[in-house]
A and B are shown apart, each in its own frame.
Chain A
Amino acid sequence: MSALLNNVMKNKVVRKFASPWRLALLVALVLIVISVVRRITGANDLTSAGLSSATLRFTIPLLMAGLGGLWAERAGVINIGLEGMMIAGTWIGAWFAFLHGPWIGFLAAAIGGALVGLFHGILVVKIGIDQAVSGLAINLLALGAARYLSGVLFIPNGGDISVSPMVQQPGYLTVPGISSWLLSINGKNIIILSDAAGVLAGFVTEISWATIFLLITVPLSTWILWRTRFGLRLRFCGENPIAAESLGVKVYRTRYMALAISGMFASLGGAYLSLVASQVYREGQTAGRGFIGLATVIFGNWRPSGVLAGSVLFGLTDALRVRQPTSIHAALLVIVILGALFVIWSITRGRMKTASITAAAALFIGFIYIKVPIIPNEFVTFFPNLATILVLVLLAQKLKPPAMLAVPYREREEGH
């Protein structure tokens, strides 16, 4: 349900709250609600520094997979092979990090991922294999190749057929002064102020350099796709390849590049998982993150900022769940209160339909909050799927996928 809220807020509220002051007010309001709920329920983890840094570490792999999906789909090709490209990244990253250190690991993963993406490109663009079939083939191929190569290369080096030897991770950044200042405020237990300090402290304490570099790819993707000639042509290929070609855009070449970039992003997400989040390659460690990344593309309405919002939301639920399962219950109360506030706001604006839908949803969640003291893990792990389905159902008319997504396109022969 929070997916609905989130999107309604993004689409309507943010447009209304255009000025940064009003946005700040909104953030402050959310923080006050969380702070109060934390006091009432005693779920202290809701605003801890540990939670925000864990959320960040869970978000990055999903975000990179999501951006990978976004780049491919913007050019008109579906990339079901994201999971396989992530697997490639976890393996390549771990092996090269073991040999030459973490940064070479990331570099190798980027190159390797681009090659796998290009392979997908040749299969679907040039040869014309069904996009879903090719993607699935890549998922299986990556799994098998990683296992084979582990047997050949990891076993003689202290690893195993499914595990790499331990690798070094990239360095950490703790902003001097600010980090300890925020943590000290967080420790004082002042309402709202300590909560804000706790959340912020997670972003300036022991944050991996890799996290920082990979986060930059979000604005970078937006800039390239919407502000450069190359980006415009790439999106053109996804919207109308026939028109693009008639205007001299090389559709095949553009799609190859889009898929190489797609593979590179997914693979970097995999490398982050094995190098930063685990310090070891382990068969199966991607655990479906590539598919959740694919869901964030739909959730985020094919925009990098939307993909980021989706990854943070899914990363946050996972972090809340594994760190302190009881705080999921408290999070429901946060959603109910925010929903109630939104209802009041909608009524004052005369939006009765939005108000009634939100009120019904908030009442339902409130009912669950009171009746179900421990939210079953099954429901929480299902949340990303549920959120994406809700977005698809409730906001279908607002979603704007590329017009020619997944439609095969044949370039015209020279001289015709």
Chain B
Amino acid sequence: MQNRNTKKKGLLAVVLAAGLAFSVVTATAPSASAATKITKIGVAFDLGGRDIPGFNQLAYFGARDYVKTHKGVKIQELQAALSDTDATREERLRLLATSGSNPIIAVGFTYASSLKIVAAEFPDVKFGIVDDSTVVLPNVQGIVFAEQEGSFLVGAAAALKSKTGNVGFIGGVQTPLIQKFEAGYAAGAKSVNKKIKVQVSYLSVFPDFSGFNDPAKGEEAARGMFDNGADVVYSAAGGSGAGAHKAALAMKKWSIGVDADEWAFPSNKAYKSVILTSMLKKVDVGVLAFINSIDKGTFKSGSVTFNLKNGGIGYSTSGGRVSSYKKKMDTLIAGIVKGKIKVPSKPAM
């Protein structure tokens, strides 16, 4: 008897809780879509920082592009440190939130677990996190990219350029994110030349992130691939990619950059002659779209994917080394956008 009673009470509690939760959802929904006046944008960087061309800088450019057209809006930036832990990342996000930044952009998936905690503490602040779709909260948007599509394009370019029918892929850290690059690259190369050989090497294994900052390992990986017949190497390896450019220069081969137009990097001045193209992951486009959505009141929680179709992904043509393949590349782009070409996001085993 008593047992049944508690069961009933339990059921009632569940129903009440569900009703409460529903009312919360319905209550926050209109306010989520209402436009917010932006006065200060917070940016929490990942390792590398704002001034290095690449991922962090592009996120900053996205915020800066917004500020350019909106007078009086400020950007509050906080740098990451090599000794960071989840606790220090949490503090960084909290500091941005308490000092009045809204929206706040967390650059990189390393912020995911910290953001889960901080975003729940500040339900009125909108957060955007680059490269992560695991944080599911009403005030968080994951800004994610279809890297496999851009990698597909540079894979096709590599195969078109390769005389040996053998190309290489260097991944910085073995994680599902970087394996997306590998999958797209291999598929792209095979779309041009079915028999092409794709060599793959990862510099370090999760959770060891040293592979993104170890140019010495990047160079040896590239040298190994060139020694074993490759003549084009694509590195999705952050700072280690400079090592691959170095190897390409020493051995007169080709190297492909990642994330931003590496051909234009001041630090890559010596390597301009060997950089074939770069896979462009336009973090700036994603961040700007995120900020604009808050400004216009069209903010959506969950993750928003930027791809070839909406202009968040592309490949660079600086240096003019792939300009002769433009026709072929355009048909591939059209195929992907129309859905005729399916790009895999997991490497074939």
A120 at interface, CB cutoff 8 A: no
Contact A282 B215 (CB under 8 A): yes
Stretch at the interface among A157-165, A222-230, A247-255: A157-165
A305 at interface, CB cutoff 8 A: no
Interface residues of A in 282-296 (CB under 8 A from B): 282-285, 287-288
- Distance in Å: Cβ of A105 to nearest Cβ of chain B: 16
**A319, closest chain B residue (CB):** B220
- Distance in Å: Cβ of A166 to nearest Cβ of chain B: 6
Residues of B in contact, count (CB < 8 Å): 40
Using Cβ atoms and an 8 Å threshold, which residues of chain B touch A61?
A: 216
Contact B49 A161 (CB under 8 A): yes
Stretch at the interface among B114-122, B196-204, B252-260, B311-319: B196-204
B267 at interface, CB cutoff 8 A: yes
Q: Which of A143, A279, A287 contacts B213 (CB 8 A)?
A: A287
Contact A45 B205 (CB under 8 A): no
A147 at interface, CB cutoff 8 A: yes
Alpha-carbon separation in the docked complex, A155 to B270 (Å): 19
Using Cβ atoms and an 8 Å threshold, which residues of chain B touch A203?
A: none
Stretch at the interface among A322-330, A362-370, A388-396: A322-330
Alpha-carbon separation in the docked complex, A323 to B202 (Å): 10
A11 at interface, CB cutoff 8 A: no
Stretch at the interface among B28-36, B64-72, B222-230: B222-230
Contact B204 A287 (CB under 8 A): yes
Contact B210 A279 (CB under 8 A): no
Using Cβ atoms and an 8 Å threshold, which residues of chain A touch B270?
A: 166
Contact A163 B220 (CB under 8 A): no
Contact B214 A323 (CB under 8 A): no
Using Cβ atoms and an 8 Å threshold, which residues of chain B touch A280?
A: 215, 242, 267
Contact A325 B201 (CB under 8 A): yes
Residues of A in contact, count (CB < 8 Å): 42
Alpha-carbon separation in the docked complex, A158 to B267 (Å): 7
B189 at interface, CB cutoff 8 A: no
Using Cβ atoms and an 8 Å threshold, which residues of chain A touch B51?
A: 155, 160-161
Contact A278 B223 (CB under 8 A): no
Alpha-carbon separation in the docked complex, A282 to B239 (Å): 8
Stretch at the interface among A18-26, A50-58, A173-181, A404-412: A50-58
**A154, closest chain B residue (CB):** B51
Contact B220 A284 (CB under 8 A): no
Alpha-carbon separation in the docked complex, A319 to B270 (Å): 25
Contact A45 B228 (CB under 8 A): yes
B92 at interface, CB cutoff 8 A: no
Q: Which of A158, A161, A322 contacts B79 (CB 8 A)?
A: A161
Using Cβ atoms and an 8 Å threshold, which residues of chain B touch A48?
A: 227
Alpha-carbon separation in the docked complex, A61 to B214 (Å): 13
- Distance in Å: Cβ of B269 to nearest Cβ of chain A: 8
Contact B49 A277 (CB under 8 A): no
Contact B227 A288 (CB under 8 A): no
Residues 262-306 of chain A: 1 if any B CB is under 8 Å from the residue's CB, otherwise 0? Answer: 000000000001000111101111011000000000000000000
Given A45-B224, A322-B224, A323-B201, residue A277 in contact with residue B47 (CB < 8 A): no
Contact A147 B210 (CB under 8 A): no
Given A280-B242, A283-B82, A285-B213, residue A162 in contact with residue B220 (CB < 8 A): no
Contact B213 A282 (CB under 8 A): yes
Contact B224 A54 (CB under 8 A): yes
Contact A279 B246 (CB under 8 A): yes
Contact B227 A277 (CB under 8 A): no
Given A160-B49, A282-B215, A322-B201, residue A45 in contact with residue B83 (CB < 8 A): no
Contact A158 B266 (CB under 8 A): yes
Contact B224 A160 (CB under 8 A): no
Given A57-B216, A284-B210, residue A140 in contact with residue B83 (CB < 8 A): yes
Given A147-B82, A161-B51, A282-B213, residue A323 in contact with residue B267 (CB < 8 A): no
30 A-B interface contacts by CB (under 8 A): A45-B227, A50-B223, A57-B220, A58-B216, A61-B216, A160-B52, A162-B48, A162-B49, A163-B239, A163-B267, A166-B269, A277-B219, A278-B243, A278-B246, A279-B215, A280-B215, A284-B82, A287-B204, A287-B210, A287-B214, A288-B210, A322-B201, A322-B221, A323-B201, A323-B224, A324-B201, A325-B202, A377-B202, A377-B205, A381-B205
Given A282-B214, A324-B199, 7 further pairs, Cβ under 8 A: A50-B227, A160-B49, A160-B52, A278-B216, A282-B213, A318-B217, A322-B201
Which positions in B face A, CB cutoff 8 Å? 47-49, 51-52, 79, 81-83, 174, 199-205, 208, 210, 213-217, 219-221, 223-225, 227-228, 239, 242-243, 246, 266-267, 269-270
Which positions in A face B, CB cutoff 8 Å? 44-45, 48, 50-51, 54, 57-58, 61, 140, 143, 147, 155, 158-163, 165-166, 273, 277-280, 282-285, 287-288, 318-319, 321-325, 377-378, 381
The 6 closest A-B pairs by CB, nearest first: A323-B224, A287-B210, A277-B216, A284-B213, A50-B227, A278-B215
